[in-house]
Amino acid sequence: MCITAFHPTLRFYVRASGSRAARLLIEVLYEDLGGSVNTMPIAYIAATDTWRASSIVKLHVDLRAAVATTRTAPVALRFSAEEEEATWMIDDVYVDPFKSH
């Protein structure tokens, strides 16, 4: 997806079954000025056995979009379970869901 300097956050709904100590790692993948793809961890989400909205997660690469000629920056998100004892479900990922409010 492409982000802009005006879309610096994301939120989503999450649920986990299994270990209560499990965490979900969220990483953003982005291209640096030299064209290499980098990975940056941006958040850890604690397990919950009911659906809930995540906390607001800052993307931390929105300034790349501010200096780009297109004013956008392509990014990808990676969600990884830190422990195999938990099964994660993710739904409705929104980049800056409150931008129009």
For residue 25, what is the domain's CATH number? 2.60.120.200
Residue 44 has pLDDT above 90, yes or no: yes
Is residue 81 in a domain?
yes
Mean pLDDT of 75-91: 88
Nearest of 45, 39, 54 to residue 9 by alpha carbon: 54
Residue 66 has pLDDT above 70, yes or no: no
Is residue 77 in a domain?
yes
Contact present, 10 and 57 (Cβ < 8 Å): yes
Residue 74 has pLDDT above 90, yes or no: no
Is residue 33 in a domain?
yes
Is residue 101 in a domain?
no
Domain around 47: 2-95
Residue 101 has pLDDT above 50, yes or no: no
Is residue 13 in a domain?
yes
Residue 99 has pLDDT above 60, yes or no: no
Residue 91 forms beta bridges with which residues?
13
Nearest of 85, 78, 96 to residue 5 by alpha carbon: 96
Domain count, the chain: 1
Is residue 100 in a domain?
no
Nearest of 52, 42, 43 to residue 23 by alpha carbon: 43
